[in-house]
Amino acid sequence: MWAREWAAAVVVVAVWGSVRASLNLYVDAEDVKQLLGEWQVVTQLSGSSGSGAAVQGEGYLERHCFPSTGVNSQLWYVNNGTVNHYALNYEIVVPPQLDALTFYWQALQGRTIPYTLSVSVANPEAVLQPVCNISDHGLVPTKLSSWTLRLTCTRKLTTEVDVTVTLQVPMNTSLADITTLTIHRKKVCLRENEAVHMEATGSGGHSTTVVYVTVAGLGVFLALVAALAALNHTHHNKMYNNAARCVCVFS
């Protein structure tokens, strides 16, 4: 009897393993807008240390993560079983006003997929241990579902904290052949007084973006006016000197 049950279990595993596991894992378009929208613009224009990365990152995502539809689309990490390594390698900044990250996933072909999930933070003094609304191990559902990761700042420090989300799933023909998907985030945290000031003034929103863009545009305009004035002054001096030389000759 024991031998018969063991043989049946082997057959089940063999049948499961004969079909390639297929998975979808992505971030929804609205969540992408929150992550890659106005905060990246403010970071770029405010001259922070990450400004160059923000500019490069937007183009990087356009080319490799959203090649056809632009950033108003989902950010796919796994699409029908195909892993998007470009998206996994990109580290997305999480603005201070955003503390919940939502991911969507689905096991395809009507077969659930076992998973293990872990999350780590580089600086526990700035970010509390992340809390997820799903278990750290279980089965990926066959129906499209979402799960949320909450990142809460302690408000003790103003800093950026690396957050690493590690999801392990069997993506090949063997249950023992595990694929590790590592998703990178950089959470921005503010001290208590700075966070309160930001909430009161609404910085990081549309109005702040407009202010930065307006100031930048005004700076360019003033520089252009100054250059034209200098050019006009130089030209006027040349004309005056030429006129003076002519008066001396004819007198």
CATH number for the domain harbouring residue 139: 2.60.40.2170
Do both 160 and 194 map to the same domain? yes
Do both 40 and 81 map to the same domain? yes
Do both 168 and 210 map to the same domain? no
Do both 97 and 130 map to the same domain? yes
Could you tell me the pTM of the whole model? 0.63
Which structural domain, as residue segments, surrounds residue 43?
A: 2-201
Q: How many domains does the chain have?
A: 2
Do both 177 and 223 map to the same domain? no
C-alpha 183: how far from chain center: 10
Question: How far apart are the C-alpha atoms of 136 and 249, rounded to whole Å?
Answer: 95
Do both 125 and 238 map to the same domain? no
Other beta carbons within 10 Å of 49: 8
Do both 148 and 250 map to the same domain? no
Buried b (16+ CB within 10 A) or exposed e, 190-208: bbeeebeebeeeebbbeeb
Do both 180 and 72 map to the same domain? yes
What tokens appear for 29 in the block? 């378009």
Measured between alpha carbons, how far apart are the two ends of the chain, in Å?
A: 129
Do both 14 and 47 map to the same domain? yes
Walk along the chain (251 residues) and give the pLDDT tens digit of each residue.
Answer: 444 443 443 333 333 344 456 899 999 999 988 887 644 533 433 334 433 333 334 454 555 455 444 555 889 999 999 999 999 998 999 999 999 999 999 999 999 999 999 999 999 999 999 999 999 999 999 999 999 999 999 999 999 999 999 999 998 766 678 999 999 999 999 998 765 655 555 544 444 443 344 344 545 555 665 666 666 666 555 554 554 444 444 43
Do both 121 and 28 map to the same domain? yes
Do both 196 and 106 map to the same domain? yes
Do both 194 and 222 map to the same domain? no
